[in-house]
Amino acid sequence: MKIIVTGGAGFIGSNFVYHMLEKHPDYKIICLDNLTYAGNLHTLEEAMKNPNFKFVKGDISERDCVFKLFEDEKPDVVVNFAAESHVDRSIEDPGIFLNTNIIGTQVMMDACRKYGIKRYHQVSTDEVYGDLPLDRLDLMFTEDTPIHTSSPYSASKAGADLLVMAYYRTFGLPVTISRCSNNYGPYHFPEKLIPLIITRALDNQNLPVYGTGANVRDWLYVGDHCSAIDLVIHKGRVGETYNIGGHNERTNLEVVKAVLHELGKPESLITYVTDRPGHDRRYAIDPAKIEKELGWQPTYNFEQGIKVTVKWYLENKGWWEKIISGEYQNYYDKMYTNR
């Protein structure tokens, strides 16, 4: 089996590369990634030593590059992780989100149509369902929840999902979609809440919490997301969407406090800053379909996952210190100074 993993130099894609190389040592994994600010070749250093892994630098929205890769490699399966993924950046500059997340998806599927494929898997997000009220804990997102987006990021992911289903119905492309809740774990870029809090708290810097910190996210350890996608590409039904989540809802304030507790740092580092425009209130995934149909179960609850994650950041300072000492500092100043 030969699998193209797009976005494999990013957070979840790289964890998926390592998952697949370990679980399926006979598979060939090709990572297609154009190394944006979020892509990092250091993350793939160990994978590069494996003869069954190959890295190709290229943009999923560039037709010539993608078609040449398919011509050369004739993959069996494509798993499309490549995306602009940060909501705050999509509020600053939506254009690149539409190009990568929608046009990139179209180009990848056009190549799949031309060269034939056993499965095209689209890695989507629970954000396409919009948000839930904070006072209705009985409500969760199912696969039948209508799409109702809030940010340019989620709108671009929803646009891609609609296109994927259109290619299934119109052209019979064998597709699946997964929609996962918030991930955390190793190789998470420190613009996102959990790694931002860990890396700043270690340096005793203030920790920016948007609004009152009451917004709720449903956290899943990244390895559990990878095992779910592995199941979907092997056993999921073509044309179906699978929600992925582990019932780990926490307010942002609870998350920040849990990290501080794990690090032994004081809560006085918490600083409330101006809220994110259009900030989604609550996400909560109902994973009943993937649990019943494919037998998927997460292996980490939030407390276990946070312990493992904090440990990883403590043991891999070299990985994130390189990031925050570079261009990232300008990003942080632009987004947070005087907020």
Interaction between residue 191 and ligand NAD (CB under 6 A): no
Q: Judge whether 127 counts as a catalytic residue.
A: yes
Mention every residue, 6+ apart, whose C-beta is less than 8 A from residue 289: 142, 143, 242, 243
Secondary structure (3-state) at 154: helix
Nearest in space to 297 (alpha carbons), one of 223, 186, 194, 240 = 223
Interaction between residue 79 and ligand NAD (CB under 6 A): no
Q: How far apart are CA 253 and CA 257, in angstroms?
A: 6
* Residue selected from 75, 104, 287, 298 as contacting ligand NAD according to rule CB under 6 A: 104
Q: Judge whether 331 counts as a catalytic residue.
A: no
Residues 28 and 51: beta-carbon distance below 8 Å: no
Using the contact rule CB under 6 A, the part of the chain among 6-14, 69-77, 139-147, 247-255 near ligand NAD is 6-14
* Residue selected from 90, 105, 106, 125 as contacting ligand NAD according to rule CB under 6 A: 125
Q: Judge whether 131 counts as a catalytic residue.
A: no
- For 80, counting Cβ atoms within 10 Å of its Cβ (0-12 exposed, 13-18 middle, 19+ buried), the class is buried
CA 164 to chain centroid: 18
Q: Which does 31 bind (CB under 5 to 8 A by kind): ligand NAD, ligand DAU, none?
A: none
Indicate the residue among 59 and 218 with the shorter CB distance to ligand DAU: 218
Nearest in space to 213 (alpha carbons), one of 243, 250, 187 = 250
Residue 336's CB: how many other CB atoms inside 10 A? 15
For the CB of residue 208, give the shortest distance to ligand DAU in the complex, in Å.
4
Binding site for ligand DAU (CB under 6 A): 85-87, 125-127, 181-182, 192-193, 196, 208-210, 215, 217, 252, 276, 283
Q: How far apart are CA 132 and CA 291, in angstroms?
A: 22
Interaction between residue 156 and ligand NAD (CB under 6 A): no
Interaction between residue 33 and ligand NAD (CB under 6 A): yes
Catalytic residue list: 126-127, 153
Interface residues toward ligand NAD, by CB under 6 A:
6-7, 9-13, 33-36, 38-39, 59-61, 81-85, 100, 104, 123, 125, 157, 180, 182-183, 189
